[in-house]
Amino acid sequence: MTSALELPPAVTARAPAKVNLELGVGPRRDDGYHDLATVYQAVGLHDDVTAAPADEWGCTVTGRDAGSVPTDEGNLALVAARLLAERSGARQPVHLSIHKQIPVAGGMAGGSADAAAALVACQELWSVAMERDELDRLAAEVGSDVPFLLHGGTAVGSGRGELVTPVLAQGTYHWVFVPVPGEGLSTPEVYAAFDARHEGRRVSEPTPGAEVMSAVRSGDPSALAAALSNDLQPDAVALQPRIGEIIGAALEFGALAAIVSGSGPTVAALASGQEAAIDLAVSLTASGAAEDVLRATGPVHGAQVLPTPRLT
């Protein structure tokens, strides 16, 4: 039997945000989801989730946009932890402390990142041995982006995005993310606008583009810039015209390309290198075109446990 003293007091895991290098959207399915052909890249903006044994389930949120994140049973990290507990038989409740760096409701999958981090942290805390496939399936029940955030790197997402296949990618890409001030965009709202725009027209099944695949294999940011695409961009821009202005400003200040990240409203601008990314970030804020910018590189690892600090 394991004594209480041998149990880790808490486990912290870190998970990245994502950007969709390509987001091809198919017709609306009977279950309300859309078939997607997407290429994800995990980028170095992270949320940390600490799971600690507790008398009852709960969570607290600190950091960026913390006030707009639910702390009740609607929190995706808590949903994920409870589902893992149910499936693994580890019934000990945890308190999750979430520290956010990823903009909320920005199209960068922050909630899904927290779910991925919670799964990894709780798996370690409860010593749950689960096959990768099984964990992926459980993650997909929590949200379409969660399996990718467990994997990280660069990957193709199919189905509703939950079926993840790693892609051979070279090089490091330098991104400048511009969170659009004000309310975020709700993903269902953007998909509803996509459906309305295609009303009465046939939407074809999306297929991952060969162009983006060969671009990430080449490691050349200019090739990737030419291949970036997002079928939801017209809808996100129509809902929040400020997005279009920010994309225009990013291009004017030297971005190789700028697109809406996922369902938006965050704008993802690709720079040619580190110096160019710094220049772009400075120009966007100094000119007043953006209130706030976040720089990050990709690809990065998926969710992983952070080493526990040694007590001396």
Catalytic amino acids? Answer: 18, 145
With CB atoms as reference, the residue minimizing the distance to ligand ATP is 111
* Residues 163-222 contacting ligand ATP, CB under 6 A: 184, 187
Q: For residues 105 and 276, which CB has a smaller minimum distance to ligand ATP in the complex? A: 105
Which candidate, 256, 260, 269, places its Cα nearest to that of 240?
260
> Do residues 206 and 252 lie in contact, with contact meaning Cβ atoms separated by under 8 Å?
no
Measured between alpha carbons, how far is 284 from 293 in angstroms, rounded to an integer?
A: 8
Q: Which is nearer to ligand ATP, 221 or 302 (CB)?
A: 302
Between 48 and 114, CB nearer to ligand ATP: 114
- For residue 128, give the amino acid letter: V
Find, among 281, 277, 280, the residue nearest to 298 by Cα. 277
**Candidate ranges 105-113, 211-219, 245-253, 290-298; the one touching ligand ATP (CB under 6 A):** 105-113
Strand partners, 100: 63
Q: Decide: is 48 part of the binding site for ligand ATP (CB under 6 A).
A: no
Count of C-beta atoms within a 10 Å radius of residue 52: 16
CA 175 to chain centre: 14
Q: Is 42 in the site for ligand ATP (CB under 6 A)?
A: no
Binders of ligand ATP: how many residues, by CB under 6 A? 22
β-strand partners of 14: 48, 304
Give least dist CB 186 to ligand ATP, A: 7
Q: Which of the residues 262 through 281 are near ligand ATP (CB under 6 A)?
A: 262-263
Give the amino acid at 28.
R
Q: Decide if 180 contacts 192 (C-beta within 8 A).
A: no
Q: Which is nearer to ligand ATP, 109 or 257 (CB)?
A: 109
Residues binding ligand ATP (CB under 6 A)? 69-70, 74-77, 98, 104-112, 114, 145, 184, 187, 262-263
